[in-house]
């Protein structure tokens, strides 16, 4: 089956600077896709090229089999939601939502019915007479979403629509956006620099870095099986362990004088060489645990109380690792300087390419 959204060898240069470097991907109809990466990685530029606000230097963009690379934005049948709401301040909510319908020539009665339908969809029935300045940021962004959806576009494009909102509203609205997307079955491309947003609502994620795709996959694949050190470090927290190779054949290394076996140690490793291993905080456990074949001794370097979770930093010597434990109201958290044994499964140690 052909991809509903297909991007082939997409490149964008501004003068001598290339910000998108031959990017290719394809997604199915109805998928929620996130373009995730730090500022300047090219994710918003890709979205703007899909929308038609930027012309590619080279490459093609197809939607539902149609080549839209050179079409004007209003010829693409795509809906766009911007970071800064972009509502018309002189129009009330109803007129903002119905603006595109009016331009398209929809009769007034049908337009009113569609606006009412959109207001119910975004949870703001009865707000059609209000003006943007009378609404909160979250409400304004809901109106912007309704305006984008009202003309029944083939695809929805969201350019960091939650970044201007406070944390609680951001979480609530991202869940609403996902629920609306699933209800409508509309293919959606969502640009964000927030890894939690991308992991929580996406079907698949494109991790961008310096104009290139580092990895494309489902959220659990991106997090649990990062393809590169950049992905591992950018998506989620990561512990880096500086070790010395002892016996490459036996796959043994030394961590601050403690010997462990690393099954996925690179075949090219040489005795006495320095190496770096990585592991997620959640694979570490205080004390022994079934299935954990590595134990390490250390001391508590720092304790951070976060309510339901206590974050520990454990010094193994020169290496310090972070891990989280659940808050047990019956037991006081450990103290700085206290000796501790931590354990992990050797299979959870990651050896990543640069």
Given this model, what pLDDT does residue 354 score?
A: 44
Chain-centroid distance of CA 265 in Å reads 29
Span 99-112, pLDDT tens digits: 999 999 999 999 99
Whether 14 is covered by a domain: the verdict is yes
The reported pLDDT for the residue numbered 229 is: 83
* Among 175, 204, 228, residue at a domain's last position: 228
pLDDT at 202 over 60: yes
Residue 337 resides in a domain: yes
Q: Which of 193, 228, 263 is the last residue of a domain?
A: 228
DSSP 215-280: EEE-HHHHHHS-SBHHHHHHSS--EEEEEEEEETTTTEEEETTEEEE-TT--TT--TT-EEEEEE-
Nearest C-alpha neighbor of 351 from the set 195, 240, 208: 240
Residue 234 counted as domain residue: no
What pLDDT shows up at residue 353? 52
Give the pair of three-digit tokens for residue 259.
């010997």
Residue 343 in tokens = 């354990």
**Nearest-angstrom CA–CA distance, 286 and 105:** 66
pTM for this prediction: 0.86
Nearest in space to 49 (alpha carbons), one of 81, 77, 12, 8: 12
Residue 164 above 90 pLDDT? no
pLDDT top residue among 93 and 85: 93
Residues in the chain: 354
Looking at the fold, whether 194 and 243 belong to one and the same domain comes out as no
Say how many domains are in the chain. Answer: 2
Q: What's the CA angle centered on 293, arms 290 and 297, to 5 degrees? A: 105
Q: How far apart are CA 207 and CA 67, in angstroms?
A: 25
Q: Which pLDDT does position 247 carry in this prediction?
A: 93
Same domain, 279 and 217: no
Residue 37: predicted pLDDT: 96
**Do 27 and 130 share a domain, yes or no?**
yes
Parent domain of 186: 5-228
Kindly list the strands in the beta sheet with 17-27, ordered across the sheet, starting from the edge strand earlier in the chain: 17-27, 5-14, 58-63, 66-67
Q: Is residue 270 one of the residues assigned to a domain?
A: yes
Query: How far is the CA of 279 from the CAs of 145, 192, 240, 282, 352, in angstroms?
Result: 39, 25, 7, 9, 10
Residue 270 and residue 162 in one domain: no
Residue 152 lies in a domain: yes
pLDDT at position 352 is: 61
Whether the CB-CB separation of 227 and 215 falls below 8 Å is answered with yes
Q: Do the Cβ atoms of 20 and 211 come closer than 8 Å?
A: yes
Same domain, 56 and 37: yes
Q: 174 and 100 in one domain?
A: yes
Q: Are residues 46 and 107 in the same domain?
A: yes
In a domain, 178, yes or no: yes
* Residues 43 and 161 occupy one common structural domain: yes
What's the pLDDT tens digit per position in 3-21?
Answer: 999 999 999 999 999 999 9
> d(Cα 43, Cα 49) in Å, to the nearest integer?
10
* End-of-domain residue from the set 173, 197, 228: 228
Which pLDDT belongs to residue 1?
Answer: 64
pLDDT score of 228: 87
Return the CATH number at 330.
Answer: 2.40.50.100
Question: Are 220 and 267 part of one and the same domain?
Answer: no
Around 164, how many Cα atoms within 13 Å sit in the side-chain half-sphere?
A: 15
Mean pLDDT of 287-310: 93
Question: Does residue 174 share a domain with residue 32?
Answer: yes
Q: Indicate whether 143 and 188 sit together in one domain.
A: yes
Lowest mean pLDDT among 151-155, 178-182, 205-209, 239-243: 239-243
pLDDT at residue 60, rounded to an integer: 98
pLDDT averaged over every residue in the chain: 93
pLDDT in tens, 120-156: 999 999 999 999 999 999 999 999 999 999 999 999 9
- We report the CATH number of the domain holding residue 157 as 3.40.50.300
Question: Does 211 share its domain with 298?
Answer: no
Q: Considering the domain boundaries, does residue 233 fall inside one? A: no
Instruction: Assess whether pLDDT exceeds 80 at residue 88.
Output: yes
């Amino acid at each position: 089956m052909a991809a509903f959204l297909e991007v082939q060898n997409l490149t964008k240069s501004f003068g001598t600077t290339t910000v998108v470097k031959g990017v290719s991907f394809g997604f199915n109809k109805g998928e929620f896709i996130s373009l995730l990466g730090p500022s300047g990685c090219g994710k918003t530029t890709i979205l703007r090229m899909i929308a038609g606000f930027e012309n590619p230097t080279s490459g093609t963009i197809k939607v539902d089999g149609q080549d839209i690379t050179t079409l004007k934005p209003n010829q693409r049948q795509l809906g766009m939601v911007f970071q800064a709401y972009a509502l018309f301040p002189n129009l009330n909510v109803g007129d903002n939502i119905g603006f595109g319908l009016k331009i398209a020539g929809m009769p007034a009665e049908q337009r009113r019915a569609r606006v009412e339908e959109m207001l119910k969809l975004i949870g703001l029935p009865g707000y059609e007479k209000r003006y943007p300045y009378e609404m909160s940021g979250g409400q304004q962004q809901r109106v912007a979403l309704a305006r984008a959806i009202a003309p029944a576009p083939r695809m929805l494009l969201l350019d960091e629509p939650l970044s201007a909102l406070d944390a609680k509203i951001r979480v609530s609205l991202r869940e609403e956006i996902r629920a609306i997307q699933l209800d409508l079955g509309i293919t959606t491309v969502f640009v964000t620099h927030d890894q939690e947003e991308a992991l929580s609502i996406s079907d698949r994620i494109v991790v961008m870095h310096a104009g290139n795709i580092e990895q494309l996959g489902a959220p659990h694949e991106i997090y649990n099986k990062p393809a590169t050190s950049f992905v591992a470090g950018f998506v989620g927290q990561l512990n880096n362990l500086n070790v010395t190779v002892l016996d490459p054949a036996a796959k043994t290394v030394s961590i601050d004088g403690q010997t462990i076996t690393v099954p996925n140690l690179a075949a090219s490793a040489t005795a006495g060489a320095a190496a770096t291993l990585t592991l997620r905080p959640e694979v570490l456990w205080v004390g022994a645990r079934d299935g954990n074949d590595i134990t390490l001794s250390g001391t508590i370097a720092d304790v951070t109380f976060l309510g339901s979770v206590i974050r520990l930093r454990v010094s193994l010597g020169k290496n310090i690792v972070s891990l989280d434990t659940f808050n047990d109201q019956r037991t006081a958290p450990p103290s700085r300087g206290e000796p501790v044994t931590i354990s992990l499964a050797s299979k959870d140690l990651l050896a990543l390419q640069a």
